[in-house]
A and B are shown apart, each in its own frame.
Chain A
């Protein structure tokens, strides 16, 4: 069944507005208002996702519309988790990133056809794509923290840069296992659906490159310790750029046409 786009779109606009107001409230120091707007934006986005799921009768993650809706919605629980368990702040940034993530779902992409193609009908789809989406959101947030570390200047800049780089490290440490799980489950699924766990498809190769960038990040960090926070931060930023390229560029550019082209 085709998803009911007008209802879902209206909910996405409402979620965008709530996230935007949350970002503004956090920046202007009104934390309680910010928290309320952020939470309500999440609830509205969640309703949009559930409506989309109910109308399409399958987990709506086969196209970029559902992917960006899910990514935007994830920013609230992710922000709360990072604050509570990792001690990593950045609520204003999280709300505004969530707002930006809703943008492609609201204005660029359309909900895909309601019916799933045969290869996508697997219980592995939810876990594989879900693990990747969580990893993307966490690693992108790590990239933002790393950018802050690189941008920190001044007399006490070295200490603050190190502190922000540590936040980025905590986030990469959270996201890398999810990235590994997504990569491995994709290989297992490829083996079941297409007969080979690795087909040298452009999306697979970008995903491998992304995994290797973060593997290199850990290697560099273990070799240089806390002595070179800016070097580690620079690699985390490169990783975030590769994350964006893997989600957007690889799915949209015709030069990367391959087995994953249905995701555009």
Chain B
């Protein structure tokens, strides 16, 4: 078991180093090519192997010192990896083949004022890629600007873009919401984010849409990762300081 633990730790160290090198290489490639590289088949195998390695370390408790904090942090990383895999295009394709459930690829929805829209378009080509199980109707769109500055800068800078949107399902309005940057709408398993607009006449808004699949495990993983790292790094020195203070106060 000790030999297995040592081998696992060496493998984890090699994986950490490899990922660090690939991250720097990806930064030089730019986001589009980096995304392609990190979603390629060899890297998919790497992600799965990493998740298995970390799961093994958690289940067999081969982490150094059997630290609870490290175990929680590793569980967080595993959840992030699994959530990321579940939300990926590859998982969508497998899901569609196995169960017939069709999950829409990320795209854009162009909502014109007063007209319900359920078409999801490709971001680059604007070709339809699928249909939402409900429609979005733009009620109003606003470009909110800062107040004019004392220096008379014209026009004042943009503070935010706001789309008043109604969600229509089976001909009935089921929700109404203002979508703006940093304030997306989540409905029916999809997220809608302010992405663009009609700069000339403000007649339509462009919303980025993507499936919420995998979001929950990823966010739970983030929480566990933070909790575990703080626990592993700060617990002992904080406890030592508090007990020292307690002893001094007692004396």
- Report whether chain A binds chain B: yes
A214 to B106, CA, bound (A): 34
Q: Which residues of B contact A191 (CB under 8 A)?
A: 215, 219
A195 to B108, CA, bound (A): 11
Select B234's contact among A115, A173, A202, beta carbons within 8 Å.
A173
- Size band of the interface chain B makes with A: 35 or more
Contact at A176–B233, with CB atoms within 8 Å? yes
Contact at B30–A216, with CB atoms within 8 Å? no
The stretch of A14-22, A31-39, A180-188 in contact with B is A180-188
A2 at the interface (CB under 8 A from B): yes
Q: Which residues of A contact B225 (CB under 8 A)?
A: 180, 184
B75 at the interface (CB under 8 A from A): no
A177 to B234, CA, bound (A): 8
Q: In the assembled complex, how far is the CB of residue A222 from the closest CB belonging to chain B, in whole angstroms?
A: 4
- Size band of the interface chain A makes with B: 35 or more
A1 to B157, CA, bound (A): 10
Contacts A1-B149, A115-B157 given; does A200 touch B31 at CB 8 Å: yes
Chain B interface helix/strand/loop/mixed: helix
B23 at the interface (CB under 8 A from A): yes
Q: Which residues of B contact A122 (CB under 8 A)?
A: 182
A103 at the interface (CB under 8 A from B): no
Select B27's contact among A173, A192, A206, A259, beta carbons within 8 Å.
A206
The stretch of B13-21, B129-137, B170-178 in contact with A is B13-21
Contact at A180–B157, with CB atoms within 8 Å? no
Contact with B along A122-137 (1 / 0, CB 8 A): 1000000000000000
Q: In the assembled complex, how far is the CB of residue B245 from the closest CB belonging to chain A, in whole angstroms?
A: 10
Contact at B146–A115, with CB atoms within 8 Å? yes
B191 at the interface (CB under 8 A from A): yes
A193 to B195, CA, bound (A): 10
Select B17's contact among A180, A196, A216, A222, beta carbons within 8 Å.
A216
Q: Which residues of A contact B (CB under 8 A)?
A: 1-2, 85-86, 113-119, 121-122, 170, 173-174, 176-177, 180-181, 184, 187-188, 191-203, 205-206, 208-209, 212-213, 215-216, 219-220, 222-223, 250, 255-259
Q: Which residues of B contact A (CB under 8 A)?
A: 9-10, 12-13, 16-17, 19-21, 23-24, 26-28, 30-32, 34-35, 38, 64-65, 84, 106, 146, 149-151, 156-161, 180-184, 191, 193-195, 208-210, 215, 218-219, 222, 225-226, 229-230, 233-234, 237, 241
